[in-house]
Amino acid sequence: MSPKSIRVCLSPALLPFYDLSDTIAVVIDIFRATSSMCYGLANGANAIIPVEELDECLSYRSNGHLLAAERDGKVVEGFDFGNSPFSYTKDKVEGKTIVLTTTNGTRAIQRCIGAEAVVIGSFLNISALTDWLKNQSRHILLVCAGWKNHFNLEDTVFSGALVHRLKTTDIELDDAAYAAESLYLEAQGNLSTYLSKASHSKRMQHLQIAQDVAFCLLEDQVSVIPILKGHELVPLTLPHLL
């Protein structure tokens, strides 16, 4: 096998250019989908089913699941909630299955199907995720959900944080990984201030949900690592070596 590599995909639009074989895909949508997925499973949700379209999400209503939908940062009318982490508290989600569709994150997950494994990353679970990835032998692809197929700052900075924690002299990095790490090193002294200039951060402030931004930047709030099993995200059972 070729030396282990860490690559960063800066937008889901670029995924067709990546070979997913022998690869663990880490999907990243910091503001807010992957943060909420980690928080929801840590708070006792049975599973989260990520889907791309609103109609697909609605088709699960008869199953008794909670239905969550976000578009352009807002909760879609007619759904139980959106992708704010504060909707994924223990009292709301424990013992429940949640079907979720978002503008960016759930679509990125679907486009990673075909990888050896698909796991979910956020600042909330960064140490647990780092520790697990260090013990894997597969290549790692960090997939930034971005914003409507465009590059975004927060997902790239998080990718850089993971690269910084994971890199060794034996691991090959691609150019995007080096660039992401450089952005993280510039931002790490004051992450919230640095990311306040991110377009999605400004969008969320306009929607008066700046508290979500602050929460999503907290490190190590949970130890759960969501992993895609079939069509459901469930907590990874450790140890799980690939």
| CA distance readout (Å), 53 to 100, 151, 207 | 9, 22, 23
In a domain, 26, yes or no: yes
Question: Would you state the pLDDT for residue 209?
Answer: 72
Q: In this model, does residue 208 exceed pLDDT 60?
A: no
Assigned token pair, 141: 């692809």
**Could you tell me if 221 and 212 are in contact, meaning their C-beta atoms sit under 8 angstroms apart?**
no
In this prediction, what percent of the chain has a pLDDT beyond 90? 86
Confidence band of 1 (pLDDT split at 50, 70, 90): very low
Q: Is residue 163 part of a domain?
A: yes
CB atoms within 10 A of CB 61: 14
CATH of the domain at 94: 3.90.1560.10
Q: Is the pLDDT assigned to residue 49 strictly greater than 60?
A: yes
CB 60 within 8 A of CB 49: yes
Residues 65-118: pLDDT tens digits? 999 999 988 899 999 999 999 999 999 999 999 999 999 999 999 999 999 999
Is residue 126 assigned to a domain?
A: yes
The number of domains in the chain is 1
Tokens representing 179 are 């660039």
Amino acid 242: pLDDT: 76
In a domain, 241, yes or no: no
Q: What is the C-alpha to C-alpha distance for residues 11 and 147, in angstroms, rounded to an integer? A: 8
What's the rounded mean pLDDT across residues 149-171?
A: 96
pTM of the predicted structure, to 2 decimals = 0.95
Average pLDDT over residues 21-26: 98
Average pLDDT on 218-229 reads 98
Q: Is the pLDDT of residue 210 over 90?
A: no
SS3 146: coil
Q: In whole angstroms, what separates CA 65 from the centre of its chain?
A: 21
The SS3 of residue 241 is coil
Picking from 120, 114, 125, 81, the residue whose alpha carbon sits closest to that of residue 100 is 81
Distance between CA atoms of 83 and 102, rounded to whole angstroms? Answer: 7
pLDDT, average across residues 37-57: 98
pLDDT above 80 (res 129): yes
Note the pLDDT of residue 234.
Answer: 98
pLDDT tier at 206 (50, 70, 90 boundaries)?
low
Task: Please compute the mean of the pLDDT values over residues 201-207 and round it to a whole number.
Answer: 63
Is the per-residue pLDDT at 42 higher than 60? yes
Mean pLDDT of the chain: 93
In a domain, 242, yes or no: no
Could you give the 3-state DSSP secondary structure of residue 31? Answer: coil
Give a yes or no: residue 148 inside a domain: yes
How far, in whole angstroms, is CA 208 from its chain's centroid? 22
Q: Which domain holds residue 169?
A: 5-235
Cβ atoms of 47 and 213 closer than 8 Å: no
Report yes or no on 240 lying in a domain.
Answer: no
| pLDDT above 70 (res 226) | yes
